[in-house]
Amino acid sequence: MLIRPATPDDVPSIRALERQAETAAHWAEREYDALFAAEAPPRVTLVATSETEAGRVIGFVIARCATAEWEIENVVVAPEKRNRGVGIKIIRELLLQAQSAGATSVLLEVRESNLAARRLYEKLGFSPHGRRSNYYHQPEEDALLLCFSVTNLRQFGLEAE
């Protein structure tokens, strides 16, 4: 598996993966198209590609980048590739990039019922930071706010290799 920065050519694959993921943040087509626009907010978009399947996109992460605080906006792994380390590797790379950029924390929101994602984030060292009542709709559900302190990279074995 290769983790690399996404390009505009990856947008159709990113959108196709997002549509397969029930728990993903479902963005409008224009939001994905705007990822690479000059006037877009600063973001990092990484894709995981399969080395054995001609570079097929098998996962992605999108994060908004403020100076000290980054926010993961969307993470998706292809259904048939879940539980194989793709999510850990792609988020690990994002955390390393946040550290390199001088960020001190990375935040995210996750559906309370999304136990698989919550286990992944816990394994990576994210900790509870708050709750947003009735944040999600269809179905209505609370969002758990999780935070990762970039200074914890070494503690969780996430330093650069």
pLDDT tens readout for residues 138-161 = 788 889 999 999 887 766 565 554
List, in sequence order, the alpha helices (H) in the chain: 11-20, 29-33, 86-100, 115-124
Q: Once rounded to an integer, what is the mean pLDDT over residues 69-74?
A: 94
- Determine which helix (DSSP H) or strand (DSSP E) holds 148, and give its type and residue range: strand 141-149
- Using DSSP, how many helices (H) and how many strands (E) does the chain show? 4, 7
Would 158 be classed as within a structural domain?
no
Indicate the number of domains in the chain: 1
Show the domain range for 64.
2-152
Q: Which of the pair, 105 or 23, is modelled with greater confidence?
A: 105
pLDDT of residue 122: 92
Encode pLDDT of 93-121 as tens digits.
Answer: 999 999 999 999 999 999 888 898 999 99
CA separation (Å) from 144 to 3, 65, 78, 88, 105?
27, 20, 23, 19, 16
Domain assignment of residue 159, yes or no: no
Q: Is there a domain that residue 76 lies in?
A: yes
145, 109 Cβ separation under 8 angstroms: yes
